[in-house]
Amino acid sequence: MQEHWQSALTDMRGRLSEENFETWLAPIAWGGSEGGKLRLRIPNKFYADWIRTHYLDLILELVRHKSGLRDIDVTWEVDERLAQERKPADKPRESTPPGALRPASGPSAALRPSSGTLGPHGQRFPANLNPKYRFENYVVGPSNQLAHAASSAAASSPGARYNPLFIYGGVGLGKTHLVNAIGHRVLEDRPNARILYVSAERFTNEFIAALQNHKMDEFRDLYRNQCDVLLMDDIQFLAGRDQTMEEFFHTFNALYHSDKQIVVSSDVYPQQMKEMEERLVSRFQWGMVADIQAPELDTRVAIVKKKAEQERIDLPDDVAHFLAETVQSNVRELEGTLLRLAVKSELLKQPLDLAFAREALRGSQPRRESMTSVDDIQRAVCEYFNIRMTDLKSHRRHRSVAQPRMIAMYLCRQRLNTSYSELGDRFGGKDHTTVMSAVRKIESRILGQDAEVLASVQAIAHRLDRS
Ligand code: ADP
Ligand code: MG
């Protein structure tokens, strides 16, 4: 089995960029196998997470192909010695995996019971950024334009205008990518800036470890005094974790009052973060809240082309288009589908053309979300309020049509997750910001228990569910 693994690894070296290969696959060491189960050793548990989401399919597919066995599985075994062995060759920030792994002398190591004090001054601060996620390879479209602009402004003058910057968007839509891109951009302009990328989950774990090991002083020193830009990913993780939230609140205040940039990402809109302390939520709103929507077709096409270029996959335009139309849910899935397709075409030695893509994706056609469509919702709203479709799609601002229009937009977002700009088109050519603010307005009325809005939304939803 080991030779199949080695041979798969050789294939992967040829397929991936050198940087990706060296960062993610080269550190994996063979640990043995039983039956169809490969035991692979990795320097750190965060490698496993990363590899699982990005390379596991590829690994499994290759090893299955090499060994001729269908039932191949992988277990990961953390072996910290591997990190030590590889260290001298590592370039500081280019090879640091996300949400994890800092050089052993780095700050989080200081929080581990056995290690020494904080990293020596003068040493480059280990920012913990993912080398892949930069502005240069972020595709901008109407769905993420605002978040992109705010991120790049925050990166060019950290701590100034967009502070804190709150990036909000659904799963797999590019929050982590943007947050990392900010870090890279700041470092390009200010190589000595002390940047800290941390997921809220990791922050929580470090906080708990610091409490247990009586290292709170170090923990606080790191987050409150040692850092110029704090990039906190997936803040929704703190919801309901009162003690960590409290700690973060003080971290936030300390950084904010010394004009340090804070960037926070979340898959929940600030006011909708249940169990998030109110004073924290209100602080998030001091700065800028920018959201990322599901990308429109054109943006998806551009993203899939960009990824193909990056991964050196020869992707014809019609296939790019087909993929973008087929995989609409999120960018991560789009990327994964592209990579799987490329591997498959290579293994089967068939050209990656439209016929091949259609065949390969047969059966994974997009789930039809439901039978409801934008039309259905518009019709139901018109019926309920007894207004005409032309009024619903008009620009009239009278309350009798404006409110139903906003409710229809809200229901479309909620039930179909159609992008704002697409909805703008479907509602008689409105700007995506108009749709966005309409949806927000209804959301806040619902949150505020506005009886009239609640009753209409519920009644219309009920109609839609019955039909
Ligand atoms: P999130 O953190 O919102 O769940 P990620 O930032 O992890 O999403 O994005 C998922 C994947 O999609 C990443 O590989 C990222 O590079 C890619 N991606 C998302 N949006 C874009 C974009 N606009 N341009 C290029 N790649 C993108
Ligand atoms: Mg993320």
pLDDT in tens, 42-59: 877 666 766 776 778 788
Model confidence at 144, in pLDDT bands (50, 70, 90)? Answer: very high
- Report DSSP state, residue 258: T
Q: What is the pLDDT of residue 67?
A: 85
Neighbours of 282 (CB within 10 A): 11
As beta bridge partners, residue 291 has 168
Q: Is 383 exposed, middle or buried (0-12, 13-18, 19+ CB in 10 A)?
A: exposed
Q: Is the pLDDT of residue 165 over 80?
A: yes
Average confidence score pLDDT of the chain? 84
Q: What is the pLDDT of residue 85?
A: 62
Q: Is the pLDDT of residue 123 over 50?
A: no
> In terms of pLDDT, which residue wins out, 98 or 427?
427
Model confidence at 362, in pLDDT bands (50, 70, 90)? Answer: confident
What is the DSSP annotation of 348-362?
TT----HHHHHHHHT
Percentage of residues of the chain with pLDDT beyond 70? 87
Residue owning the nearest CA to atom 23 of ligand 1: 139
Residue owning the nearest CA to atom 1 of ligand 1: 172
Residue-wise pLDDT for 188-216, tens only, equals 999 889 999 999 999 999 999 999 899 99
Residues 252/262, Cβ–Cβ less than 8 Å = yes
CA 276 to chain centre: 20
Pocket test for ligand 1, best of 168, 331, 333, 339 (most atoms within 8 A of CB): 331
Identity (one letter) of the amino acid at 372?
Answer: T
Q: What is the pLDDT of residue 117?
A: 27
Q: What is the pLDDT of residue 214?
A: 92
User: In the block, which residue shows the tokens 């780095």?
Assistant: 106
**Mean pLDDT to the nearest integer, 8-20:** 77
User: How far is Cα 272 from Cα 294, in angstroms, rounded to an integer?
Assistant: 19
- The sign of the dihedral angle between the CA atoms of 213, 216, 220, 222 is negative
Report helix, strand or coil for 266.
strand
Q: What is the pLDDT of residue 172?
A: 92
Residue owning the nearest CA to atom 5 of ligand 1: 174
CA 339 to chain centre: 18
Q: What is the pLDDT of residue 147?
A: 95
**Mean pLDDT to the nearest integer, 278-302:** 91
Closest ligand to residue 170's CA: 1
**Residue 182 Cα to ligand 2 middle (Å):** 14
Model confidence at 63, in pLDDT bands (50, 70, 90)? Answer: confident
Q: What is the pLDDT of residue 49?
A: 67
Structural domains of the chain sorted by starting position, each given as residue range(s) with its CATH number in brackets = 2-85 (3.30.300.180), 101-292 (3.40.50.300), 303-366 (1.10.8.60), 370-466 (1.10.1750.10)
**Mean pLDDT to the nearest integer, 397-421:** 91
Q: Tell which residue, 262, 325, 329, has the closest CA to residue 293.
A: 329
Whether omega for the bond prior to residue 164 falls within 30 degrees of 0, making it cis, is yes
User: In the block, which residue shows the tokens 């909000």?
Assistant: 168
Closest ligand to residue 309's CA: 1
3-state helix, strand, coil in the chain (%, to 5): 55, 10, 35
Q: Ligand 1 — pocket residues by CB below 6 A?
A: 133, 137-139, 144, 169, 171-177, 303, 306, 331-332, 335
Pocket test for ligand 1, best of 49, 177, 301, 304 (most atoms within 8 A of CB): 177
Highest-confidence segment of 47-61, 76-90, 293-307: 293-307
Distance (Å) of CA 395 to CA 34, 185, 424, 439 = 67, 41, 11, 16
Neighbours of 444 (CB within 10 A): 14
**Residue 42 Cα to ligand 1 middle (Å):** 25
Residue-wise pLDDT for 262-275, tens only, equals 999 999 888 777 77
User: How far is Cα 46 from Cα 406, in angstroms, rounded to an integer?
Assistant: 43
Closest ligand to residue 235's CA: 2
Describe the strand order of the beta sheet including 229-233 as a list of residue ranges: 195-199, 229-233, 261-266, 165-169, 288-292
Q: What is the pLDDT of residue 231?
A: 97
**Mean pLDDT to the nearest integer, 355-371:** 69
User: How far is Cα 263 from Cα 197, in angstroms, rounded to an integer?
Assistant: 9
Q: Which CB contacts under 8 angstroms, 24+ apart, belong to 19-23?
A: 19/94, 19/131, 20/132, 22/95, 23/94, 23/95, 23/97, 23/131
Least confident window among 74-88, 120-134, 285-299, 453-467: 120-134
User: How far is Cα 198 from Cα 212, in angstroms, rounded to an integer?
Assistant: 20
User: How far is Cα 107 from Cα 124, in angstroms, rounded to an integer?
Assistant: 12
Least confident window among 4-18, 111-125, 214-228, 402-416: 111-125
- Report DSSP state, residue 428: T
As beta bridge partners, residue 343 has none
Ligand 1 atom at minimal distance to the Cα of residue 233: 2
Q: Tell which residue, 76, 18, 78, has the closest CA to residue 52.
A: 76
Taking the model in full, what pTM does it have? 0.61
As beta bridge partners, residue 73 has 37
**Mean pLDDT to the nearest integer, 338-346:** 89
Distance (Å) of CA 434 to CA 388, 422, 441 = 20, 12, 11
Tokens of 286: 């001091």
